[in-house]
Structure 1
Amino acid sequence: MKQTITKNFLLIVLALAVVFAFAMKATVFQNPTATPVPSATTPPEFASYWFSGKAELNSYRLEQAQYGALNPGEAVLVFVTEDFRTDKQVKSETPASRDKSIPILKTNISKKFVTGVYDYSLFTSVFTPINNMVFPNTLKVSTSGQEWCGHSYLQLNYRNNGYQIDGKSYFENEAEEEYTVGKAMLEDELWNRIRLNPAQLPVGDVQMIPGTMAARLRHKRLEPLLAKTKLDDYEGVLYPGKFLKSYTVQYPTDDRTLIIVFEGQFPHKIVGWEETYNSNDNLLTSRAVLKKTIQSDYWNHNAPADSTLRTELMKQ
């Protein structure tokens, strides 16, 4: 018996490891992340769309202002619900952390564009609780930027009735940043707020913390600024869709204006946006126009054969 165990020791250890992994739900054959569950007060239409186990993926044709010129590129907006830990402010991935978590709507915003010979890649994630009555503030925003000069990272966490801001950057004046600002509406959360309930968007003069992508591109420190906001019917012809609305954010002290255009009817799909500011003394308007929307559990489609889904999403 002892000789048999010794001879097959590695095989026995491997078998025990596999059994233990299945018991702990830790194998690659199992998905440890459960689909978030809506609360009893969630409207059926909202629950059916946002808690179906799929994300909404949107591709956009992009022109991005940088270095005094408009640069061609592409943008992607991803919206998905997930369980989010309120203590560590990260995604809940184990059953043990479910009681520390709440359902949130997450925005992932990706922008890629080329400036001359080299390219830029920007990515922002925004985590907004769905239950606005209990958790009225967005809990976290993170933004990373990569370009051929270097890269940067910026993160906001809601703590102690304000936002803790931490940043790292290749650029000298942004190399090490750690400061706090008072509680205010985040420009970055507007995408989630539109999808959750555009009727609750603030209108008039409000204090707003500008978007993190714009801050990094323009090398601006984040702080609440006076913003003049309004919600209108969209009267133009640049964006696709019916019954469109536009939400405008104008910063008088920063000479910058953001307009987000979206469908007035549920699920309030965002069909484009434009952003106007000075770039190298040229007043330019960046613009993104919707190309395609699909719903997919994209995290389960990462094999080479799944590239057909990306082709469908990104096609003109």
Structure 2
Amino acid sequence: MKIQSLLILSAILFIVSCSKAPVRENIDFEQWGKYWFQGKAEISSFDLKQYRYGEERQGEAVLIFVTEDFSRKKQVKLDNPDDAGKDKIGVLKMNQTRDFVTGIYPYHMMLSAFTPTKEKSQGLKFTSSVQEWCGQSFSQINLSGTNSYSGKLNSYFEKEGDASISVTGLAEDDLWNLIRISPSEIPLGGVSIFPSLFYQRFSHQELAAEEAFIRIQDISTDRKQLELTYSSGVRVLKIDFEKNFPFEILAWEEIQTKSDGSKEITLAKRKAVKVLDYWKRNKVEDEFLRDELKLKY
């Protein structure tokens, strides 16, 4: 009976150990925590040259990175994380905004990505919204299984309006958070990946995975560059970031090749960065911080 009991206990321990989510590797969690768990967000502003309707537009982009307690089941920020138990999972959230003008009317865009920090997992959720004078659209996809996402697109266009989305593969929008968490976690070489939700809105194409190639190389003594090249040859994404922790993002470039061989190149270069609890800085007297971040929009 003793042997049988030990065997049962061993089996239970084996099952429990196998069910635990793998932990991200090559991360100094003490160093990581001192930067990301100080109760503040990192805000970076960028000069933006955004191509739209075949022309280059001057604008501004902002990246906001902050850690949050997330619900595994609902995939939303927890209101009471201390009471959530095993439903709680730590994520790094990126909010990316882009503002520019096309002729008489403005574009306001926002992309959000939520990626587990300690557990080795794909991003849990991605959303994007685009507002301009013609109307607005909103997309959301959630991790629904191993390597697969499902969600919805709500758009003012008849062809696209209120459509379901299903896609399998790595999310391009996950790469930004993976750079900040640990660049060594990014798969290199050939990958199956689907493009940014921003690109999907601009191209009005169905969201679908494509074979692509990822490489990371040194481009200076203190800077690395991630380069994502899609096999179709239509799209290339380059993200420049600091070689050392906390791997701050310094610039990015998106190259789109048109059917006639011409290229549209969107560029963003950082102009300022601050770490602060921006959600508490909502008074008129706090507006000087916008000047320090060199924000125009």
For the aligned pair, the TM-score class normalised by the smaller chain equals 0.7 to 0.9
Q: Structure 1 length normalisation: TM-score?
A: 0.81
Q: Structure 2 length normalisation: TM-score?
A: 0.86
Instruction: Determine which structure has more spread, i.e. the larger CA radius of gyration.
Output: 1
Q: 5+ residue gaps in structure 2?
A: 1-26
Q: Which residue of the other structure, out of 207, 218, 233, is the alignment partner of 2:203?
A: 218
Distance 1:276 1:127 in 2: 25
**Shift of residue 298 of structure 1?**
0.5
Name the CA shift for 1:254/1:169 in 2 (closer, same or farther; >3 Å). farther
Q: Which residue of the other structure, out of 30, 36, 45, is the alignment partner of 2:31?
A: 45
CA contact (8 A) 2:233 2:257 kept: no
Paired residue type of 2:105:
Y
Paired residue type of 1:256:
R
State how 1:1-316 maps to structure 2 within 5 Å.
43-94=29-80, 95-97=82-84, 99-133=86-120, 136-161=121-146, 162-182=148-168, 184-235=169-220, 243-253=222-232, 255-278=234-257, 282-314=262-294
**Shift of residue 42 of structure 1?**
5.9
CA contact (8 A) 1:68 1:280 kept: no
Deviations 1:225-280 (A, max 9, x none): 11111111125xxxxxx610000001122511000000011100000100011469
Moved more, 167-176 or 54-63: 167-176
Percent sequence identity over aligned pairs? 38
What do you get for the CA RMSD once the two structures are aligned? 1.7
CA contact (8 A) 1:68 1:279 kept: no
Paired residue type of 2:179:
I
CA contact (8 A) 1:66 1:279 kept: no
Name the CA shift for 1:177/1:303 in 2 (closer, same or farther; >3 Å). same
Give SS of 2:110's match: strand
Matched pairs, number: 267
Name the CA shift for 1:254/1:156 in 2 (closer, same or farther; >3 Å). farther
Give SS of 2:293's match: helix
